[in-house]
Amino acid sequence: MISAISTNITSPLGMTTEQNYQAVKSGCSALTRFEGKWGLQEAFAGSLFTDEQMESMMIDGFTRFESVVLHSVKEALTHTSIDISSSRVVFILSTTKGNVEMLGGERSTDYGQQTTDYGLRSDEAEYPGSAAKLIASALGITTAPIVVCNACISGVAAQILAQRLIDGGVYDYAIVAGAEVQSKFIVSGFQSFKAVTDEICRPFDIERLGLNLGEGAGTIVFGKGEGWNLTSGCIRNDAYHLSSPHPQGEGYYLALQGVLDNTPLATLGVHGTATMYNDQMESKAIQRAGLSNTPLTSLKGYYGHTMGAAGVIETIITMCATEDGVVLGAKGFEEIGVSGKVDISSEERKTDKKAFVKMLSGFGGCNGAVHYQKKEVPSNSPIRGGFVDTKTSVGLKVSHSVKISSKEAFVDGVKLETTAEGKALLKELYKTHINDYIKFYKMDILTRLTFVASELLLKAEGSEPKECEDRAVIIFNRSSSIVADKQYYETIKDDANYFPSPSVFLYTLPNLTTGEIAIRNHFYGETSFYILPEKNQKLMDEIIRVSFQDKKTKSIIAGWIECPDEDNFEAELNIYNQ
């Protein structure tokens, strides 16, 4: 069990947690309509920093994204006395697309009279791990940073990772920052799905038309102590579809069940994107979980969907409101428009309960939940509790392994007969050893590589696809989804030849690799995607080890899948058991 010892929110509504909470409580929204922004051909509503706000935050040599993260983390750290240079402190960054707006060689941006010069940055500025390393170095953090890139649940998943690493005895403190800045790349992608509206979003409402996108950063510094305790967290996949949620909210329901106890909840913080299918799915899952009478908190009407920042920002606001004894009204909601029985209101309500659950769901079928409770811990309690879950105190056991490079492939150390190289090798492996999953041909190169490696691994195990919740899928890499990112950028860079593709945009989310495995094999367990500045086997092993803290997980498919271009790649995937 870990505690939130300091927080910050940096958003268009304010630069501190208190400013943000007071703005939301008073009913303020940062959402506004934009037309012609970034040369986009369709109008959209969103929550974006003003030029003046960005100018005040920009740090020379750092991108918009990095500057926003640094502003939030520095503000949160001013309220702590921890030694961030200690080897017992880890920095966890939650984001979906990070510096993606840097694609296309854009290296400088004007804000008023200030020009930010990014200088001689490498071509890897778009890699989230590179951004995390720069941020960590600027802060004085000496340990390797971790990027959680799990689509829209990233902010919740990052908090769960922090809990596992601290409770598992790996670190004493975790600085979790969730952040996103919007761009033509991101907004056009959501528009291609017809998921974005140019009106203010209306979560759970009968007249909801779609989501609004937002930008901002949230930071939670975790340690051991009194205050708001993160008591449990859970990630589950619905194994249904890459871009559409399960109609009955299967993964959402399982994640929710994974954190519920007998503690009365002040509120359930929903995802509430105001899209037709998400809100309907959530309502069904909430009713299935027996929480129809639990007041819901929906914050998208204030911030829009801040993607990688949503889980952190919305957790902090819900924490503040519960501490204040209120359940915030859902801005934009007027009349119920979902079939599941839920308790949502546009009016602020009172509560005397001191516990809540925050939920998120996202592309790739992922769903996440965290449970918080206000508990007082004696002030003389040790900073480090010394708790190491018995499930994580043992060494990792590998039962089967697969290694694939752009030239050859091995299963359990035995070389497979192949004749092709590069991306043609993956097609050859698919046709020779799999050849029964036509969706393979729709996948991007990163997902093809991960899928082929997982199929060879499961065939070595002798497994047939079957429904289960006890197997997790955890993937690490360095270059995120850079190949798909570049392919999608080509579809939007030329205004005269503008054709954003939803299928191409979808695979710019690297966690789709884990979603494909879950769907193929009916895995309802955890699916997670982590990005590191460079391959770090020791850190990967620690993350895999502490992931066995999940009470249902009995085995994990995990490993390194790196694919900087279509003809140069490597995969090392293993099956780990307790």
In whole angstroms, give the CA distance from residue 84 to residue 221.
Answer: 11
In whole angstroms, give the CA distance from residue 247 to residue 284.
Answer: 8
In whole angstroms, give the CA distance from residue 551 to residue 467.
Answer: 17
Break the chain down into helix, strand, coil percent, rounded to 5.
Answer: 35, 25, 40
In whole angstroms, give the CA distance from residue 198 to residue 459.
Answer: 48
Which residue has 């995937």 as its token pair?
573
> What is the pLDDT at residue 185?
96
In whole angstroms, give the CA distance from residue 145 to residue 141.
Answer: 8
Domains by residue range for the chain, with CATH: 2-375 (3.40.47.10), 390-577 (3.40.47.10)
> What is the pLDDT at residue 382?
35
> What is the pLDDT at residue 1?
86
What's the number of CA atoms in the CB half-sphere (13 Å) around residue 380?
0
Tokens of 473: 């899928």
Q: Which helix (H) or strand (E) holds 400?
A: strand 397-405
Contact in structure between 29 and 302 (CB atoms under 8 Å): yes
Task: Compute how many other C-beta atoms are within 10 angstroms of the C-beta atom of residue 493.
Answer: 13
> pLDDT tens per residue, the chain (578 residues)?
899 999 999 999 999 999 999 999 999 999 999 999 999 999 999 999 999 999 999 999 999 999 999 999 999 999 999 999 999 999 999 999 999 999 876 544 544 444 455 443 556 889 999 999 999 999 999 999 999 999 999 999 999 999 999 999 999 999 999 999 999 999 999 999 999 999 999 999 999 999 999 999 999 999 998 899 999 999 999 999 999 999 999 999 999 999 999 999 999 999 999 999 999 999 999 999 999 999 999 999 999 999 999 999 999 999 999 999 999 999 999 999 999 999 999 999 999 999 999 999 999 999 999 999 998 644 433 333 323 343 444 578 999 999 999 999 999 999 999 999 999 999 999 999 999 999 999 999 999 999 999 999 999 999 888 899 999 999 999 999 999 999 999 999 998 889 999 999 999 999 999 999 999 999 999 999 999 999 999 999 999 999 999 999 999 999 999 999 999 999 999 999 98
> What is the pLDDT at residue 376?
62
In whole angstroms, give the CA distance from residue 33 to residue 11.
Answer: 17
Which residue has 């037309």 as its token pair?
35
- N- to C-terminal Cα distance for the chain? 22
In whole angstroms, give the CA distance from residue 170 to residue 168.
Answer: 6
Which residue has 């500045």 as its token pair?
533
Q: Which letter does DSSP use for residue 10 in this model?
A: E
Residues paired with residue 232 on neighbouring β-strands, in sequence order: 371
In whole angstroms, give the CA distance from residue 159 to residue 182.
Answer: 23
Tell me whether strands 89-94 and 173-180 are parallel, antiparallel or unpaired: parallel
Q: Which helix (H) or strand (E) holds 520?
A: helix 512-521
> What is the pLDDT at residue 136?
98
In whole angstroms, give the CA distance from residue 401 to residue 382.
Answer: 41
In whole angstroms, give the CA distance from residue 166 to residue 224.
Answer: 8
In whole angstroms, give the CA distance from residue 469 to residue 28.
Answer: 41
User: CA-based Rg of the chain, rounded to a whole angstrom?
Assistant: 22
Residues paired with residue 530 on neighbouring β-strands, in sequence order: 148, 476
> What is the pLDDT at residue 578?
81
Q: What are phi and psi of 6, to 5 degrees?
A: -165, 150
Contact in structure between 567 and 422 (CB atoms under 8 Å): yes
Tokens of 201: 């979003």
Contact in structure between 92 and 171 (CB atoms under 8 Å): no
Per DSSP, helices labelled H in 239-327 are 250-257, 276-288, 300-303, 310-323
Ranges of beta strands (E only) in 118-215 are 146-148, 173-180, 213-214
Spatial strand order in the sheet of 32-34: 32-34, 44-47, 213-214
Tokens of 75: 């503000």
In whole angstroms, give the CA distance from residue 187 to residue 180.
Answer: 12
Q: Which residues, 6 or more positions from 393, have their beta carbon under 8 angstroms from its beta carbon?
A: none
Residues paired with residue 9 on neighbouring β-strands, in sequence order: 218
409: left (phi over 0), alpha (psi -120 to 50) or beta: beta
Length of the chain equals 578
Which DSSP string do the residues of 115-146 spell out, in sequence order?
A: EEE--S--GGGG-HHHHHHHHHHHHT--SPPE
Residue in 76, 49, 78, 75 with CA at minimum distance from that of residue 64: 49
> What is the pLDDT at residue 106?
53
Tell me whether strands 555-565 and 471-477 are parallel, antiparallel or unpaired: parallel
Tokens of 92: 């966890």
Residue in 95, 146, 91 with CA at minimum distance from that of residue 544: 146
> What is the pLDDT at residue 123?
60
Rounded to the nearest angstrom, the gap between the alpha carbon of residue 423 and the centroid of all alpha carbons in its chain is: 28
Would you call 550 exposed, middle or buried from its count of C-beta atoms within 10 A (0-12, 13-18, 19+)?
Answer: buried
